Amino acid sequence: MASWTRSGTRMRANMLVLVLLVWLLSALEAVKVSPLIEKVGDHKDLKKLLRTRTNVLVLYTKTAAAGDAHLKLLSDVAQALKGQATIAWVDCGDSDGRKLCKKMKVDPGSRQGGAELLHFKDGSFHTEYSRPATFKSMVAFLKDPSGPPLWEENPEAKDVVHVETEKDFRKLLKKEERPVLMMFYAPWCGVCKRMQPIFQQAATETKGKYVLAGMNVHPAQFDGLKQEFSVKGYPTFCYFQKGRFLHHYENYGAGAADLVAWLKDPQPPQPKTPEVPWAETDSAVFHLTDESFDGFLEEQPAALVMFYAPWCGHCKKMKPEFDEAAEILNRGSDSPGVLAALDATVHKAVGDRFKISGFPTLKYFQNGEEKFTLPQLRSKDKIMEFMHNPQAPPPPERSWEDRPSSVSHLGSEDFREALKKKRHALVMFYAPWCPHCKSAVPHFTAAAELFKEDRKIVYAAVDCTKGLNHDVCKQEGVEGYPTFSYYHYGKFVEKYNGDRGEAGFTGFMRSLRGRDQEKVGKKKEEL
């Protein structure tokens, strides 16, 4: 009997060991980390990683188990972006990780799910990852960390139908009884970004009567679709009724009201007025082609070439000035050079070679060799003055937005979303030409630099003269420049009317932080 009891005890002990082994193996499997994810436990190792990599997303977790929900997804993201981004993991639950998290002032335990994702760019903290935890969103973010979120992530685009695949597109056309206006776009396209808020507003106003849908067709897999619906540029709007394509919509300069009015009475685009060509016979300007360009310039000691487009308004305005200057230069025997022109929309080989991206573009050549690009030459007198004394143009003044600083420059596409993430935001609405704005810029920038390590504080700026930013400024009650407004998690609180020096801007933010600390102190006392 005793022998049987001992045998049963051993069996139960063996079963317990087996259960523990199975649990341990499953636990190890649960926290298994992909070799593409860098597991970091030392502060020096993390600093080295951030110093040697330019695009790093760090997952901080309260415990190893808290990382389970993220590591599988992040492994797939790391695989897709191999060589383009680095993903690291810090377990704040183990002894080394705890010290590291304390030094980095990170507390994932205070977050839902016990995890926090922070992005570092060029060795410095960039932003907290707050977009959806999906493969598509994370890949898009790491490909362009400073870019806007995916269109479908914008809450204001909730009434736009976002189409992912060609199969979904065909299904929509087949099943939808209501008229469909499809916006084929590319994520990087500037005109698309300007049109998206207009499209969103129209989608909301016509909800239930029409379907307004968007589809990113830039990837090569959609080349057949683009050819089928004549998508030659972005955006392209196609109007369908009961699955049948009827018209393109081409009024890109219109607002939401115009788009809604067009949907009520959709008409095909009106034929464009043919452009009047630059008459070569009546002009002293030499008109060049892809074939004649190099040979002509090699024969000329000096030549000023205007790259133009027939539809370009600035080019049309400049043509008579250019013609008149060419006539004067051709009169004398001691002419300092010739003037020539090339239609870069027709003769694309030369235009592409010289990277012509705007019109008109003027370039000065000596003996066939390019010397200068001259954006300031627009009048006959300026052209004549330059040809008689060719000098390198002054370097263009870098805009505030292009100069490195800790100020966050926002636009219509990311203004509200960016401010929602910040506890305290001081926003400067400005115009680049405004003298008072220019005076305030260095002081505002210095204040932003002082608070750059605080992830809950931002000094932001909006150029009200740029694109659709004018609408944002109008909505925010901007009536003069500069206007300073304080926001708390995206909600407007008050106008800032204090001193516009560095001391004023920093003192205002310090007072807000002081109030925060008082509130924390009171809560602790209550507890």
| DSSP β-bridge partners for residue 494 | 486
Give the burial string for 400-417 (b: 16+ CB within 10 Å, else e). Answer: beeeebbbbbbbbbbbbb
Looking at residue 37, the DSSP 8-state letter turns out to be: E
Q: How many CA atoms lie within 13 A of 413 on its CB side?
A: 21
Q: Whose CA is closest to 484, among 408, 427, 444, 431?
A: 427
Determine if the peptide bond prior to 269 is cis (ω within 30°): no
* Residue 245, C-beta contacts closer than 8 angstroms, at least 6 positions apart: 229, 238, 239
Closest CA to 297 of 371, 204, 234, 360: 371
Q: Greatest CA separation found in the chain?
A: 129
Helices 380-388 and 313-331: crossing angle in degrees, nearest 10, is 50
Cis link prior to 360 (omega < 30° from 0)? yes
CA distance linking residue 323 with residue 320, whole number of Å: 5
* CB 471 within 8 Å of CB 412: yes
Partners of residue 308 on adjacent β-strands: 343
Nearest CA-CA partner of 133 in 57, 209, 62: 57
Distance, in Å, from the CA atom of 266 to the CA atom of 239, rounded to the nearest integer, reads: 8
Task: Give the DSSP H or E segment for 304.
Answer: strand 303-308
Which residues carry out catalysis? Answer: 189, 192, 312, 315
| Pick from 430, 495, 512, 433: nearest CA to 469 | 430
Amino acid at 251: N
Residue among 104, 128, 93 at smallest CA distance from 45: 104
Going 341 to 344 to 346 to 350, the CA torsion angle's sign is positive
- Which DSSP letter does residue 199 get? H
Phi and psi, residue 181, nearest 5°: -110, 115
Q: Are strands 236-241 and 244-249 parallel, antiparallel or unpaired?
A: antiparallel
Yes or no: say if 145 and 55 are a contact pair by the CB < 8 Å rule. yes
Q: What is the C-alpha to C-alpha distance for residues 186 and 193, in angstroms, rounded to an integer?
A: 9
Identity of residue 301 = P
Q: Yes or no: say if 51 and 45 are a contact pair by the CB < 8 Å rule.
A: no
C-beta separation of 279 from 313 below 8 A: no
Of residues 436, 422, 417, 527, the one with CA closest to residue 481: 436
Q: What is the spatial distance between Cα 58 and Cα 467, in angstroms, rounded to a whole number?
A: 34
How far apart CA 260 and CA 468 sit, in angstroms, is 19
